[in-house]
Structure 1
Amino acid sequence: MSLHLGDLIIMSSPMMNRFPLNRGIFLHFKVEYFFEIGLFFGGILLYWRSFTLVRNMVRKQVLVILMVVFFLGGAGLLFASSFGGLNVESFIMGSGAVVSAQKEEVQLVVGGDIMLSRNIGWLAKQEGYDRTFSGQNFNPLSQFSCYASGDCLLYFNLESMFSAKDNDQPKGGFTFRANTGNIQTLLDLQGNNELVLSLANNHTNNAGGDGVELTRHRLSAHEIGHFGAGNTTGEAETFYSTRKGGIKFCFQAFSYDGTHGIYGKKSLAWNPLSLPLMTGTLHAMEQDLCDVKVLGLHWGAEYRFQPAKWQVLLAHQLVDAGADILLGGHSHVPGPYEIYNGKPIFYSFGNFLFDQDWGMKTSVGEFDFNYDYELKKNRVPTYIPLLASLQIEKNGTGIQISSPLFKMARLHKGIFSPLDDETFSGMMEHLVLK
């Protein structure tokens, strides 16, 4: 047990006889020792000054009275602070005084693209839309400490809008329209945590304006945050904010093909990769006192690990404009990350829940690949979802963001399984920006 000066002062006093150590009462003092020391030395100075003033006085009992009054007052403050809950700082400096800021922490867990149509939706429909994360199935999010306790803030990109006319069939082409029953998959994924979803991607318009309206309605009904698309540009450009663990997070998303127009019978808009729009959004977030500003970016070439030079340049411009975290997607394979000016940039998380689990046969000149030690062959890793956890801390000096903790899994027909260590190590080598 380590002792402070405040402990020694009180432990040497007669109060120790009334509150013995074996009751553990002196192990948890709430008093700030800085003020104890100040009171202690302040008392010495007052004693000396009082003695100087009255040393030639006949009535020496005045000095005795002053000493007794000060000692009792100081002892009362210390006793009330330690045992009665009195805030000495507020008592001495005013009720608004704050000397030591309380540390607040949140674990942000981020992943890639979720597609609930085609074969994923068809398989889920066979089991009442309670399939991927049900029963004893492996949940890759369980690899993070905050997930079981319900303390995670989760981020993904929803690649398929809900539709009254779904496209849930094994070979459904490239039109992603999900049955509304698939909301159960998202709820199972969420667990007891908070989930937010980007809606800005190159499949936002697959179910038309009706699909975006239905998707936003269903997500809102289940308190799942969403952003990046709407039936008007105003809805699309309105960023989403949430406060968790005392930290205000603000999210917005953008896609390389973002636009607005009439799709089906209703208008539809999703945010483009426009630098003025993105920097304007960051400014609005700053004005709204957001602690952590997060942008989702749907961009880049498919089946390529490394980002293009324009992506790196744009990412750096966004961080310089105030972005705290950049989350990329669209490539279908995990991509590299970097820390730029203290801010994490993830160029791509690849697929999270998708039906491209065949891994694609490699063509060295066309696609990037990784050697899979379980399959014992080269594969384009469309079936390996990348996940990352960031510890966000708010303290007296501002916001601190930890280095990412990476996890992966293996996906086959909508069911996850653990990834072997050798393949994981090989994938980690591709996460280095070149």
Structure 2
Amino acid sequence: MALKKWLVVFIVFIVSNGLLYAQEAASVSLVFVGDVMGHGTQIKSAFVPETKQYSYEGCFKYVRNIFEEADFTIANLEVTLAGPPFKGYPQFSSPDALAIAMKDAGVNAMVTANNHCVDRRRKGLERTIDVLDSLAIPHTGTFKNQSDNERNNPMLLRKNGIKIALINYTYGTNGIPVSKPNVVNFLEKDVVVADIEKAKKLRPDKIIAFVHWGLEYQTQANKEQKMFNQVFKENGVDVVIGSHPHVVQPIEYEEDHFVVYSLGNFISNQRTAPRDGGVMVRLELTKIGDKTEVSDAGYYLTWVYTPIINGKKEFMVLPVTAFEQDAQFMDAKAHKRLIKYGQEARNIYKNNIKIKEYFFDKNLPGWVKNSPLLSGVGQP
């Protein structure tokens, strides 16, 4: 599907009491990205010996035009940017270059409330905020103090006359206490309801919740996820986006309420199926008069390719539909797994009615038609 980025403004004619009225309509598009992980192998891969610096530029080059086409691309940053020493699991701290590469690829908002957000305690939480602020990337979910929470909870996104309030929560922080005066948004009913009421006072056109919840590696939502989704729905949240299980879970869209129970991994070194892939969900909101609705909803399946190039493991997020019929630079084993992952994910989505799969258009501007890393490619 070829998409172009423009302000969609058209005239809608409404008949009332026999009179014809004209109203303008405007749209805004959003892409939601799942778990951005930073395992030790990823950090090692990003290190450039010649400069002693880190670079993640190659990780996102095959999806960046999807990001850039959207008005907002929102990702779950599931690491801290706490500075050195850089380490992966179990207490993550990734180089700032990860956030820089994501911004360069088109990610222009992030959520930070997840079970790893206090891996490096107060220093890690606050430095993560400082780095995102220095990059002018809006964010929400973790805060230096209550004053910061009051300013940035919810995160407001504005485009084309449409205002979106986004709230973000996590089920926990792996048992690590939150240092005072830091604030982390926990998934607690009283907190959620109070935040929704606060968001409503800002009179947004839509309220979106990005939630870290569920059980790891389970491809179906559990009772707690369904219960909290109902809390969001009953209190006026229009869209719920889930993360944490590290695998794809179902999408439901009914009665003007849209929920993605889990986006799965966007990028990580978790290679055991089905943790090796994820989904990017794209929504379009259209406003006519005072009413804003989801006018289009769909998803792109993604899979992480990890070839050995010149003796080093690389990481590349690939849109599945771009490679299923065209292996391009992929080795046979990896190509077979990409196809299998697509089948597994589509089986989870087999009951979708109003949500379609987007097929990646390689004619879009920015698509990398041939990998510059063809030489030295080995088995993943």
TM bracket, shorter-chain basis: 0.7 to 0.9
Report if the CA contact (8 A) 1:114-1:156 is conserved: yes
Displacement after TM superposition at 1:260 (Å): 9.1
Greater radius of gyration (CA): 1
Displacement after TM superposition at 1:274 (Å): 0.8
> Is 1:230 the counterpart of 2:153 in the alignment?
no
Report if the CA contact (8 A) 1:300-1:311 is conserved: yes
Displacement after TM superposition at 1:227 (Å): 0.4
> Is 1:209 the counterpart of 2:122 in the alignment?
yes
> Is 1:255 the counterpart of 2:166 in the alignment?
no
Task: Give the secondary structure class of the aligned counterpart of 1:200.
Answer: coil
Q: Which residues of 2 match residues 93-172 of structure 1 at below 5 A?
A: 99-126=21-48, 128-133=53-58, 138-142=61-65, 144=66, 147-149=67-69, 151-168=70-87, 172=88
Displacement after TM superposition at 1:106 (Å): 0.9
CA distance in 2, matches of 1:262, 1:275: 19
Deviations 1:316-374 (A, max 9, x none): 22111010110100001111010142111000001112121x22xxxxxxxxxxxxxxx
CA distance in 2, matches of 1:338, 1:395: 24
Task: Give the secondary structure class of the aligned counterpart of 1:104.
Answer: strand
CA distance in 2, matches of 1:383, 1:351: 7
CA distance in 2, matches of 1:310, 1:262: 23
Give structure 1 regions of 4+ aligned residues with deviation exceeding 4 angstroms.
258-263
Q: Which residue of the partner structure matches residue 331 of structure 2?
A: none
Displacement after TM superposition at 1:141 (Å): 4.5
Displacement after TM superposition at 1:173 (Å): 3.3
Displacement after TM superposition at 1:183 (Å): 2.8
Find the partner of 1:199 among 112, 125, 129: 112
CA distance in 2, matches of 1:340, 1:234: 37
Structure 1: segments with no counterpart, 5+ residues: 1-29, 39-97, 360-379
CA distance in 2, matches of 1:248, 1:166: 39
Q: Which residue of the partner structure matches residue 342 of structure 1?
A: 256
Task: Give the secondary structure class of the aligned counterpart of 1:162.
Answer: coil
CA distance in 2, matches of 1:234, 1:344: 31
Task: Give the secondary structure class of the aligned counterpart of 1:331.
Answer: coil
Displacement after TM superposition at 1:236 (Å): 4.0
CA distance in 1, matches of 2:127, 2:28: 31
Considering fraction of residues, name the structure with more helix: 1
Q: Rate the CA distance shift 1:247–1:241 in 2: closer, same or farther, 3 A.
A: same
Which gives a bigger RCO, structure 1 or 2 (Cα 8 Å, sep 6+)? 2
Report if the CA contact (8 A) 2:266-2:317 is conserved: no
Q: Which residues of 2 match residues 86-97 of structure 1 at below 5 A?
A: none
* Segment drifting more, 394-403 vs 418-427: 418-427
Q: Which residue of the partner structure matches residue 68 of structure 1?
A: none
CA distance in 2, matches of 1:155, 1:132: 18
Task: Give the secondary structure class of the aligned counterpart of 2:47.
Answer: helix
Task: Give the secondary structure class of the aligned counterpart of 1:101.
Answer: strand
Deviations 1:124-159 (A, max 9, x none): 12274333447xx742343x4xx445x431111111
> Is 1:431 the counterpart of 2:349 in the alignment?
yes
Report if the CA contact (8 A) 2:56-2:97 is conserved: no
TM-score (norm 2): 0.73
Report if the CA contact (8 A) 1:233-1:270 is conserved: no
Q: Which residue of the partner structure matches residue 27 of structure 1?
A: none
CA distance in 1, matches of 2:218, 2:131: 34
Q: Which residues of 2 match residues 224-373 of structure 1 at below 5 A?
A: 224-236=137-149, 238-257=153-172, 261=177, 263=179, 267-356=181-270, 358-359=271-272
Q: Rate the CA distance shift 1:232–1:432 in 2: closer, same or farther, 3 A.
A: farther
Report if the CA contact (8 A) 1:329-1:350 is conserved: yes
Deviations 1:182-241 (A, max 9, x none): 332222232xxx611111000011121111111111111221111011122453462211
Q: Rate the CA distance shift 1:222–1:138 in 2: closer, same or farther, 3 A.
A: closer
> Is 1:179 the counterpart of 2:95 in the alignment?
yes
Displacement after TM superposition at 1:402 (Å): 3.1
Count of residue pairs the alignment pairs up:
307
Report if the CA contact (8 A) 2:91-2:116 is conserved: yes
CA distance in 2, matches of 1:262, 1:409: 33
Identity %: 21
Displacement after TM superposition at 1:416 (Å): 2.2
Structure 2: segments with no counterpart, 5+ residues: 1-10, 307-313, 326-338, 353-380
Report if the CA contact (8 A) 1:261-1:267 is conserved: no
CA distance in 1, matches of 2:61, 2:144: 37
Report if the CA contact (8 A) 2:115-2:172 is conserved: yes
